[in-house]
Amino acid sequence: MLKRGALGLTVWLSLGCQTPLGPSDAATPPGDAQGGAEPTDGGPLANTAPLAYTPEGCNFMVRSAPMTRGNVQGDTATFGAAPTPAAVHANWASDPATTVALVWTTDADTLASAVQYGTAMGNLDQRAVGHVSTAGNNSATRVTAHEVNLCGLRPDSTYYYRVGGEGHWSEIQSFKTGPAPGQSGYDVNFVVSGDSRNGYATFRMLQERIAMVTATRQPDFQIFSGDAVLLGTNQIEWGQWFTAAASAMRRMPFIMVHGNHDALSVNYLLQFAQPQAGVPEQDELYFSFDYGPIHFVVLNDTPYRGDIAGGIGGTQIQWLRQDLTRARANRARVPWIVVNHHKPSFSSSNHSDANDTLFIRRNWPPIFDEFGVDVVFNGHDHQFELSRELDAMGREVSGRRGTYYLISAGAGAELYPTGNQPWRRYSESVSNFLVVHATERQFEVTPYRLDGTAITEGRLSLQPRSN
């Protein structure tokens, strides 16, 4: 949600060159957007002063996002006309083993930003307070988001929580912290979905189907591969997206990948809390973290305006090389390297030969190949697709010498036709999601259709690389 300055974090944070769109740009394509300060409304929202503080027990700083007002920290008793928390969910802004960020929205006059939490649903015996910020200047773009960061949590533990304030608490929800660094014998279970855009009824059914399919093996978290809404500055759409995702968000954190339709909007930045460097040019858009036996990397392939070369071919490559150098050196302890970004390098569908896709293909797969990235998850092309094992040029290789690319982009957006590129192993034009199970010795992906049937041709099972 807000910028975090790294103070010796174990999570590797990034510097970049992106600048968010202002909420007043709701009807402006991302490439033509003009940022700028927003007008104020008087009252508490007239407070445009930037906010900066270190949450209790945390080793990172939180700062208010640009183009926000009403930046208030520490309030527990100010409620407006609609104080009931909405869009309540958990993200990770730092180490998943010991921290969590809880985020929700209210009306603009509600400033109370409190959380009660504990390891038993009937005993929420701990309390924390965070902050609130508002952006947007009309009913279509305005968002008031609250964020509370909890630190010093027990690894591999289920916590229960409610948000809001006295007399206006949310329902109780839950999340599970990640394993302690170096913990062996840990099974990771997570889900991948993406590209709901304005198909929120389908997205809701997809989340309900995920719950049914994973009933005996609860996912630790869900990765969303981008394009949650049709236009990122439209808060009405975000409300529909959160409503559709509510059943999943009640029980697991979400890790968000920025998509082109999310539009670098302040609405996106305010409503999700993810790791980043705490400088105006970089807002939680690329980062990495360890979770059990997996090193996860999230990249941003939609940088601001025309900065494709700087953001994709320059700034992020420099950071990516440094990150993967550390990950490769740590491979004996964390054997899997998984990358997530929105636009696929290798797809057989609509965007296979688009200029931005070709630019990504020239720049990122050589890095993935050099450092031995195992799997890349993408969205953007609305279908399911599994590639062959590929080298940097998209040629098939074998013996765990290449990378597998999977597209899960069927969470509600209009489906695209499949194609027949040489790197394609299997694809299907269908609403879909992926269920992933990983241990130190096995990495398994099973894709599912919306009706709950497995896409057997798209299953993937890997053993670690030998080097």
User: 407, 446, 452: which is closest to 427 by C-alpha?
Assistant: 407
Q: Looking at the predicted structure, is the pLDDT value of residue 3 above 80?
A: no
Maximum Cα–Cα distance for the chain, whole Å?
A: 64
Other Cβ atoms less than 10 A from the Cβ of 224: the count is 29
User: In the predicted model, what is the mean pLDDT of residues 139-167?
Assistant: 97
448, containing H or E segment: strand 443-449
Q: Render pLDDT for 56-86 as a digit per residue (tens, 0 to 9).
A: 999 988 888 878 999 999 999 999 999 999 9
- Directed axis angle between helix 235-249 and helix 200-213, to 10°? 10
The Cα–Cα gap between 284 and 2 comes to 8
Taking a C-beta distance cutoff of 8 angstroms, is the pair 392, 372 a contact? Answer: no
What's the mean per-residue pLDDT of the chain?
88
Q: Supply the DSSP symbol for 313.
A: I
The Cα–Cα gap between 89 and 219 comes to 15
More confident residue, 100 or 41: 100
The Cα–Cα gap between 288 and 82 comes to 36
Q: Which domains does the chain have, with CATH numbers?
A: 3-462 (3.60.21.10)
Other Cβ atoms less than 10 A from the Cβ of 270: the count is 31
Phi, psi for residue 324 in degrees, rounded to 5: -70, -25
Q: Render pLDDT for 382-429 as a digit per residue (tens, 0 to 9).
A: 999 999 999 999 999 999 999 999 999 999 999 999 999 999 999 999
The Cα–Cα gap between 130 and 173 comes to 18
The residues with which 133 forms a beta bridge, in sequence order, are 145
- For residues 379-405, b (16+ Cβ closer than 10 Å) or e, as one string? bbbbbbbbbbbbbbebeeeeeeebbbb
Share of the chain above pLDDT 90, in %: 76
The Cα–Cα gap between 455 and 418 comes to 15
User: In the predicted model, what is the mean pLDDT of residues 87-116?
Assistant: 97
Strands (E), 319-358: 336-340
Share of the chain above pLDDT 70, in %: 87
User: 338, 236, 266, 247: which is closest to 297 by C-alpha?
Assistant: 338
Q: Looking at the predicted structure, is the pLDDT value of residue 439 above 60?
A: yes
Question: What's the pLDDT at 318?
Answer: 86
The residues with which 435 forms a beta bridge, in sequence order, are 191, 446
More confident residue, 49 or 137: 137
pTM for this model (two decimals): 0.90
Question: What's the pLDDT at 342?
Answer: 97
Question: What's the pLDDT at 1?
Answer: 52
Considering only 41-55, 350-364, 378-392, 444-458, which range has the smallest mean pLDDT?
Answer: 41-55
Q: How far apart are the first and last CA of the chain?
A: 38
Amino acid at 411: A
